[in-house]
Amino acid sequence: MTTSITTHDMQSLIMSAFEFRHATKVFDESKRIPETQFETILETARLSPSSFGMEPWKLLVVQSPQKRELLREFSWGANGAFNGSKGQLGTASHFVIFLAATDVLMRHHSDHLQNHMKEVKQFPKDVIEFMNHAYQKFQEHDFGIEGRRQMTDWSAKQAYIALGNMMTSAALLGIDSCPIEGFELRKATDVLSSAFGINTEQYVPCVMAAFGYRLDTPKFDKTRRTLTQTVSWF
């Protein structure tokens, strides 16, 4: 098969997705993302890669204004405190909380992983056995992932891949977004447990993201290190 990708195609990818995307602080409240488009964005999260294919994440789409308000007090990166607006929490068309699976689910040989390999991956018994050993070696020896925080952070690293895919696909659809880590982890975990019915022994929040349509053009030009400063070739 011959490739027919042109310079124009490559420039258009950069311009329409990566130059277009910026961390949107305030969205146009009057505009809603059509459901089919948001489902497509969610699908890009679902289809994202994960280590050993274990999908150590869950997504909460928070559309209830009352539920969003429960996050406001401790979400300084999304409550508009820095610009005197209602923030991403008050203006986004769609607001997502990414949950990272804890050690309870992700530790090697856990019931959850056995079930995932059987039901989702549909692995036969001998493959599950092989995977259990490989996964244990990976956790204990290769990467040395120990304890609750490290294992949860490892899940979170993978959830961020889904986040990246969602933001890029949103941009390609002309939809704005903002990744959000500006919140107090402990308080967010407590609220998810008390008001959202999340079992926070199993899942804890790691990052949030808002989606919608920008109200204003970005205040600042995009600034980045150069490619030479960023990349070394060997």
Ligand X SMILES: Cc1cc2nc3c(=O)[nH]c(=O)nc-3n(C[C@H](O)[C@H](O)[C@H](O)COP(=O)(O)O)c2cc1C
Could you say whether residue 182 binds ligand X (CB under 6 A)? Answer: yes
The CA-based dihedral angle spanning residues 131, 133, 137, 140, taken in that order and rounded to the nearest 10 degrees: 110
Could you say whether residue 212 binds ligand X (CB under 6 A)? Answer: no
Task: In angstroms, give the least distance from the CB of 224 to ligand X.
Answer: 8
Please say whether the dihedral angle defined by the alpha carbons of residues 110, 103, 41 and 86, taken in this order, is positive or negative: positive
Could you say whether residue 68 binds ligand X (CB under 6 A)? Answer: no
Q: Which segments of the chain are extended strands (E)? A: 57-61, 94-101, 176-180, 203-212
Task: Give the contact letters, 20-39, x = binds to ligand X (CB under 6 A), - = no.
Answer: --xx-x--------------
Could you say whether residue 77 binds ligand X (CB under 6 A)? Answer: yes
- Please check whether residue 210 is in contact with residue 85, taking contact to mean a CB–CB distance below 8 angstroms: no
Could you say whether residue 188 binds ligand X (CB under 6 A)? Answer: no
Tell me the site size for ligand X, rule CB under 6 A: 12
Question: Which CA distances in Å does 222 have to 15, 131, 151, 212, 216?
Answer: 12, 43, 34, 20, 15
Could you say whether residue 178 binds ligand X (CB under 6 A)? Answer: yes
Dig out the tokens for 110 from the structure. Answer: 């856990």
Could you say whether residue 214 binds ligand X (CB under 6 A)? Answer: no
Considering only 26, 151, 171, 180, the residue that binds ligand X (CB under 6 A) is 180
Q: What residues pair up with 27 in beta bridges, in sequence order? A: 214
Could you say whether residue 94 binds ligand X (CB under 6 A)? Answer: no
Q: Which residues bind ligand X (CB under 6 A)?
A: 22-23, 25, 77-78, 178-182, 207, 222
